[in-house]
């Protein structure tokens, strides 16, 4: 029943993800509608509010093929080049069995045990402790780990991390996350484009003094002698300003919803991937200890927020945790303890790299005294040192052999 419930939840989550992605596409059209409102106000600043709303909707319908085509082109470009972009940001490099036999064998054993095709293997030369999976189809799938993760985790913990990433691939999480990041990028791109165009237009005489509404309003006021006409023009200008406010609010709302939807796609999937790793390895304690070692040490230098959303851990603290893409390590560990029967060792500290003293170079003198050697049956150590402790100074006399004439209880013979 547990496996049935898990797989049912995975299928349900995939269906909800598809709905969320469809919602992200609708956000693109919301951005286009907001842009149409701004353009109509710029072309005709004297219309009423309902006129702007009606004409902007007509513009969206007429430009629907172009906006859809632009979003699709963005997705096509990301489909073929997203892995290159991610590798350029993180510095991921392909590795072979000869280069990393330990890591390669662990991943291969997991894939063979479950009949999963072997993804590509990459390593990021970073001291951070993290891993992520990427790809949109079978030929593109890859699992990337950091050098710091390999150095800090034992084989069982690394195997649990690899199982986590393989579960993302097996459940289709990787495709959904990459697509969500792509479409959210489209929304962010159009939103920034409209904001820049809006402020640039205002700065060069659209909305400020000396141009646009100000100049037309002043000239209309000076040429007008009727009080009723002046009030009509004021109401028209107020309607245009109101429409601009609506457009800016729509752009901000679309951008915010795209970010929140993208975050919602990730939070539940991390819990499912942890459970899937336990299912693959049958070792919940290894997954828990891996999470405890990675906790707070996963920030990849130079990685963007979009890349960090794909990682095993995306550390966030304080107010930024409100927009975190991953549940906290504490909640993930508690879920594994509750539902998988694991044991939580608590936060773990990694051993410092300088804990072990360096071995002295050959020929180098040290001040450390070696431990005493037990005395032999004739009262002297095998190396000739007197009984009771090591010889700390240089020997001035000839060394005696245990077969020499030793001093007995009545003196030397």
Number of Cβ within 10 Å of residue 92's Cβ equals 24
- Rounded Cα distance, 277 and 133, in Å: 14
Q: Check if the beta carbon of residue 10 is closer than 8 Å to that of residue 272.
A: yes
Pairing of strands 142-146, 120-124: parallel
What is the DSSP-derived secondary structure letter of residue 202? I
Q: Check if the beta carbon of residue 254 is closer than 8 Å to that of residue 191.
A: yes
Strand, coil or helix: 411:
strand
What is the DSSP-derived secondary structure letter of residue 131? E
The 120-124 sheet, strands edge to edge? 92-94, 120-124, 142-146, 131-134
| Residue 299 annotated in active site | no
Q: Check if the beta carbon of residue 125 is closer than 8 Å to that of residue 92.
A: no
Strand, coil or helix: 145:
strand
Pairing of strands 142-146, 131-134: antiparallel
Token output for 350: 């990694």
- Rounded Cα distance, 153 and 140, in Å: 27
- Rounded Cα distance, 332 and 341, in Å: 13
Q: How far separated are the first and last CA of the chain, in Å rounded?
A: 90
Q: Check if the beta carbon of residue 134 is closer than 8 Å to that of residue 310.
A: yes
Catalytic residue among 165, 270, 295, 309: 165
Please report how the helices 329-340 and 284-294 are oriented relative to each other, as an axis angle in degrees rounded to 10.
170
What is the DSSP-derived secondary structure letter of residue 370? P
Active site residues: 165
């Amino acid at each position: 029943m547990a496996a049935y419930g898990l797989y049912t939840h995975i299928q349900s989550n995939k269906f909800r993800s598809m709905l969320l992605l469809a919602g992200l596409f609708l956000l693109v059209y919301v951005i286009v509608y907001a842009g149409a409102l701004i353009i109509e106000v710029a072309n005709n600043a004297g219309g009423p509010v309902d006129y702007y709303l009606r004409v902007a909707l007509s513009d969206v319908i007429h430009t629907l093929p172009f906006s859809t085509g632009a979003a699709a082109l963005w997705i096509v470009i990301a489909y073929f080049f997203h892995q290159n972009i991610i590798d350029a940001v993180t510095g991921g490099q392909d590795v072979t069995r000869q280069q990393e036999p330990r890591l390669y064998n662990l991943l291969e054993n997991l894939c063979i045990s479950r009949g999963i095709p072997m993804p590509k293997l990459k390593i990021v030369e970073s001291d951070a402790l993290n891993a992520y999976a990427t790809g949109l189809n079978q030929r593109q799938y890859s699992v990337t780990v950091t050098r710091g993760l390999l150095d800090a985790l034992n084989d069982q913990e690394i195997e649990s991390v690899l199982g986590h990433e393989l579960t993302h691939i097996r459940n289709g999480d990787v495709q959904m996350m990459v697509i969500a990041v792509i479409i959210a990028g489209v929304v962010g791109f159009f939103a920034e484009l409209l904001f820049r165009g809006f402020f640039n237009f205002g700065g060069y005489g659209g909305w400020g003094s000396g141009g646009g509404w100000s100049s037309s309003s002043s000239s209309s006021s000076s040429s007008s002698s009727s009080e009723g006409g002046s009030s009509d023009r004021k109401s028209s200008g107020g309607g245009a300003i109101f429409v601009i406010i609506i457009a800016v609010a729509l752009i901000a709302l679309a951008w915010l919803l795209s970010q929140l939807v993208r975050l919602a796609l990730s939070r539940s999937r991390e819990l499912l991937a942890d459970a899937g790793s336990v299912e693959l390895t049958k070792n919940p304690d290894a997954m828990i200890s891996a999470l405890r070692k990675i906790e707070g040490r996963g920030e990849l230098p130079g990685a963007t927020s979009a890349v960090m959303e794909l990682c095993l851990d995306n550390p966030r603290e304080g107010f930024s945790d409100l927009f975190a893409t991953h549940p906290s390590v504490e909640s993930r560990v508690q879920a594994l303890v509750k539902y998988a029967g694991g044991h939580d060792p608590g936060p773990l500290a990694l051993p410092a790299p300088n804990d072990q003293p360096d071995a002295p170079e050959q020929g180098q003198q040290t001040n450390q005294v070696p431990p005493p050697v037990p005395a032999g049956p004739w009262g002297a150590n095998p190396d000739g040192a007197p009984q009771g402790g090591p010889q700390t100074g240089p020997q001035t006399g000839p060394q005696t052999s245990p077969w020499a004439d030793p001093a007995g209880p009545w003196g030397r013979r």
